[in-house]
Amino acid sequence: MLLYHDPRAPNPRRVRIFLAEKGVAYDTIEVSIAASEHQKPEFRKKNPLALLPVLELEDGRVLRESMAICRYLEEVHPEPNLLGVDAWERAQIEQWNRHAELELLLPIAQVFRNTNAFWNGRIKQAPEFGEIMREQVCSRFDWLETELARRPYLAGPRFTVADITAVCAIDFGKVSNLRIKAETHPHLAAWHARVYERPSIKA
Ligand SMILES: N[C@@H](CCC(=O)N[C@@H](CS)C(=O)NCC(=O)O)C(=O)O
């Protein structure tokens, strides 16, 4: 398997952590977003949307969208389970993973895209919208603080894909000065430290 990724981008990191948890060997090709390599016709043959990650199988078939890739990997490498073992747990994990995508990763990415000089001249920016998204992220950190006071991981008692999405989102916030602090968010910070005990986090 071959993963097209950018080491600095959050969505490819989700897949790398997922693969590390599964213990699956794979090769990588770095596609630099900063150098606009993802816009080149060669990469667009893999993903016309010019987005990372893309997973290419041995037979040349390609998969894009982080969760589609994770679902495929879970089917072909069922252990350790990261997407749920029964109807209730699968639904819980889906719910929390969607929360992590829509309530954390999306607004955090919007802060970056609309306020950071990296995107100057690359996309149209709306800094005011970026600042509105910043407020939303801060309120979501407060909300997660209350949730994680009740259980060790996002979707329940064990580590799942929802934690992978959330940690990649939160870490990506740092570039926009969105940080969780132990003084204001002790349970969220403790969860983050717990996730960082896992070797897969270095992937
Ligand atoms: N929903 C997609 C999102 C993919 C995505 O937005 N990837 C970012 C990197 S984290 C990207 O390639 N951005 C390049 C750009 O916006 O030009 C997924 O999870 O795969």
pLDDT of residue 134: 98
Report, as ranges of residue numbers, the positions in the chain whose pLDDT lies below 70. none
Q: Note whether 83 and 161 are within 8 A (CB).
A: yes
pLDDT of residue 49: 98
* Cβ of 37 below 6 Å from ligand 1: no
Which residue has the least CA distance to atom 16 on ligand 1? Answer: 51
pLDDT of residue 42: 97
pLDDT of residue 163: 98
* Cβ of 52 below 6 Å from ligand 1: yes
Question: 62-68: which pairs have CB atoms within 8 A and are 24 or more residues apart?
Answer: 66/11, 66/12, 66/14, 66/15, 66/165, 67/97, 67/101, 67/161
Select from 44, 32, 53 the least CA-distant residue to 122: 32
List, in order of start, the domains of the chain with CATH numbers: 2-76 (3.40.30.10), 87-202 (1.20.1050.10)
């909300």: which residue's tokens?
A: 143
**DSSP state at residue 28:** E
Q: Percentage of the chain with pLDDT > 90? A: 100
Instruction: Kindly give the distance from the C-alpha atom of residue 11 to the centroid of ligand 1, in angstroms, as a whole number.
Output: 6
* Cβ of 66 below 6 Å from ligand 1: yes
* Cβ of 65 below 6 Å from ligand 1: yes
pLDDT in tens, 38-53: 999 999 999 999 999 9
Residue type at 157 in one-letter notation: P
